[in-house]
Structure 1
Amino acid sequence: MSDLEKILVLGATGNIGFTVVQKLTENGIAVRAGVSNPEKSKTLWADNALVDVIHFDFLDTATFPSALEGITKVFFVRPPQLSKPKEDMFPFLRFLKERSVAHVVFVSLIGVEKNPVTPHHKIEKEMVRLALPYTFLRPSFFMQNLNTTHQEDIQKHSDLFIPAGKAKTSFIDTRDIGEIAAICLMNTPDHLHQKYSITGKEAVSYDEVADRMTAILGKKITYSKPSLRYFRSTMIKRGIPKEYANVMTMLYFITQMGNAKKVTVTANELLKRELTSIDQYIADYRTSFL
């Protein structure tokens, strides 16, 4: 990798993006962190001379030129609140095409090739149509969904309020995903036009997750198995945008159908180490659940 190269990491303060920045800079690579609130975020990398922070917004094309100035490679995830790719993501993809970037790593979704209604599928399809030099990371459900999306229910009600039925899920830690993304960006020729389905090392039910959380946290965690309809209506009542609630409900419907239990060795092969276990994740994020 040339000393002149700089990588744009969008969503740099997120669970995956933050690890991408960390792993790239640990290897001496300059990073531009694209964030929604630069002033607030600058303190995160105040001691890291390899990171410059800039305002970026997928919905504001005026932020694209400065974010891409001098950039050779790009990492991005789809912000969960953006559910209309043609309107809120495609303009950015076209801009990447115009700038002739050397590599774009996109965090998609496992099984996305079978789910054309998902925003991830539409983004992947447009990237291929534009002939962007892509790598698609298709992870299973994030372990960190538990300490973000579902944190309130665990903290306040000691319950996993998740409509997954009895299905199993091959959870993966976002820290592992971020490290894989950095590996791909640092070794572009080996990973161009690859579609990696990456999972954790085992598939577990939410009943099992509740049991493991109970043992590690020292407080009883239940799994209430709400219906898809009740879950969706509750999320909307809590103020989550309807489009986002719809996407969440659809993903859990896919889980109920048994499509989230697939386990692959791809992440292990890319990382060349043991993957983070669900038990280790719960222990690491213990204070987030209490």
Structure 2
Amino acid sequence: MQRRVLITGAAGKTASAVVEALVQRGFFVRALVRKTDDRSQRLAKLGAEVVTGDMLSLKDMTVAAQSMDSSYFCYPTSDRILEASAIFAEAARKNGMGFICNMSQIIARPDAPSPTSRLHWLAERLFDTSPLNVTHLKPTFFADHFVLNVRHTIVNDNKIIRPYGSAYHSPITSTDIGRVAAAVLADPTAHIGKSYVLTGLDRLSFNEIAGIFSEMLGRSITYVDVPADEFKADMERRQFAPSLLEHHMQSSKDYREGHFDATNTLVSDITGRDATRFRDYIAANISAFQSGST
């Protein structure tokens, strides 16, 4: 019998990768999106059943979960993560869903400085104490972060401006996270009850990352370690939601203290294919960082 999987937040980076991977494996995939747009139309063309709904509506989530065997649960970074998780857990329970692959954070823990990270930790515990089988994915900073949130200063100022000091992380791509989630959902038995810290293979400081950009772009890119208030001002100019702004401000403390600093081979161990090297990811997206690309 064909396996049936619900993907929430399906228009997002990791979730869309899960949709594509599972459709290719022959699964029936229901893709839950907030609204119909070009991204949802792409999912439909891939072969997913696209449905719209509000992840904070128990009614919508109960309908979305009907007849689904398992799910990838991914909610945007927000201070409503615990509410969304509780709603989804109840919708999944009502429908007899057997397994959830939950997207969390590497810094989710009870004493994290970010309120959102603490809520992610509570959401993990909520799923753990529910009747549902669950696996938690806890990735480090995404490599995609450089395209989404750093590109403007690289293009306009030849700078990477962040309050991260000299600490390290091993950037992971959203596609690799999606491949892990798809592999877990395809054969969940060995993964039930586990939490996976997901990383790339290249442990880098922001000074080293600036050096890679300099080499690949053919111009000097420098890392500027700024006070948190200057970082906050940039996010305010770019109209970040208040809870997201607060999360980035507080998680920068975790970064400086080394809480993002992990490197492992779990992507390869779970999927059978190595994680994308950071240089390869930047090379594939190099046009986004060329002068005049904003």
Calculate the TM-score normalised by the size of structure 2. 0.90
Aligned-pair RMSD on alpha carbons?
Answer: 1.8
User: CA offset at residue 226 of structure 1?
Assistant: 1.4
Match of 1:280 in 2: 280
Q: Return 5+ residue gaps in structure 1 as ranges.
A: none
User: How far apart, CA to CA, are the structure 2 residues paired with 1:47 and 1:261?
Assistant: 38
User: How far apart, CA to CA, are the structure 2 residues paired with 1:42 and 1:13?
Assistant: 6
Residues 242 and 273 of structure 1: is their aligned pair in 2 closer, same or farther, counting only changes over 3 Å?
same
Match of 2:88 in 1: 92
Q: Which AA in structure 2 matches 1:246?
A: E
Tell me the alpha carbon deviations over residues 47-95 of structure 1, each in whole angstroms, 9 at most, x when there is no partner: 43x3111102222333213311221111022212x21334344222222
Residues 217 and 11 of structure 1: is their aligned pair in 2 closer, same or farther, counting only changes over 3 Å?
farther
Tell me the alpha carbon deviations over residues 196-239 of structure 1, each in whole angstroms, 9 at most, x when there is no partner: 11211131001111110121123332211111232123312431
Give yes or no for contact 1:23–1:182 (8 Å, CA) kept in 2.
yes
Q: Secondary structure at the match of 1:109?
A: coil
Match of 1:150 in 2: 150
1:11-30 correspondence runs (5 A): 11-30=9-28
Give yes or no for contact 1:41–1:53 (8 Å, CA) kept in 2.
no
Q: Secondary structure at the match of 2:267?
A: helix
Give yes or no for contact 1:228–1:253 (8 Å, CA) kept in 2.
no
User: How far apart, CA to CA, are the structure 2 residues paired with 1:233 and 1:256?
Assistant: 19
Give yes or no for contact 1:35–1:41 (8 Å, CA) kept in 2.
no
Q: Secondary structure at the match of 1:8?
A: strand
Match of 2:56 among 55, 59, 71: 59
Tell me the alpha carbon deviations over residues 249-280 of structure 1, each in whole angstroms, 9 at most, x when there is no partner: 22221010012112123222112222211100
User: CA offset at residue 156 of structure 1?
Assistant: 2.5
User: How far apart, CA to CA, are the structure 2 residues paired with 1:209 and 1:260?
Assistant: 15
Q: Which AA in structure 2 matches 1:12?
A: A
Match of 1:33 among 21, 31, 34: 31
Q: Secondary structure at the match of 1:141?
A: coil
User: CA offset at residue 103 of structure 1?
Assistant: 0.8
Match of 1:73 in 2: 70
Q: Which AA in structure 2 matches 1:173?
A: T
User: How far apart, CA to CA, are the structure 2 residues paired with 1:58 and 1:283?
Assistant: 35
Give yes or no for contact 1:115–1:121 (8 Å, CA) kept in 2.
no
Q: Return 5+ residue gaps in structure 2 as ranges.
A: none
Match of 2:179 in 1: 179
Give yes or no for contact 2:85–2:123 (8 Å, CA) kept in 1.
yes
Give every structure 1 segment of 4 or more consecutive aligned residues whose post-TM-superposition deviation is greater than 6 Å.
none
Give yes or no for contact 2:137–2:195 (8 Å, CA) kept in 1.
yes
Q: Secondary structure at the match of 2:248?
A: helix
Match of 1:124 in 2: 124
Aligned residues: 286
Q: Which AA in structure 2 matches 1:23?
A: A
Q: Secondary structure at the match of 1:223?
A: strand
Q: Which AA in structure 2 matches 1:91?
A: I
Residues 62 and 179 of structure 1: is their aligned pair in 2 closer, same or farther, counting only changes over 3 Å?
same
Residues 60 and 155 of structure 1: is their aligned pair in 2 closer, same or farther, counting only changes over 3 Å?
farther
Q: Secondary structure at the match of 2:144?
A: helix
- Structure 2 residue 225 is the aligned partner of structure 1 residue 203: no
- Structure 2 residue 136 is the aligned partner of structure 1 residue 136: yes
User: How far apart, CA to CA, are the structure 1 residues paired with 2:234 and 2:228?
Assistant: 10
Q: Secondary structure at the match of 1:253?
A: helix
Match of 1:103 in 2: 99
Q: Which AA in structure 2 matches 1:110?
A: I
1:225-244 correspondence runs (5 A): 225-244=225-244
User: How far apart, CA to CA, are the structure 2 residues paired with 1:257 and 1:242?
Assistant: 23
Q: Secondary structure at the match of 1:197?
A: strand
User: CA offset at residue 111 of structure 1?
Assistant: 4.2
Percent sequence identity is: 23
Residues 190 and 239 of structure 1: is their aligned pair in 2 closer, same or farther, counting only changes over 3 Å?
same
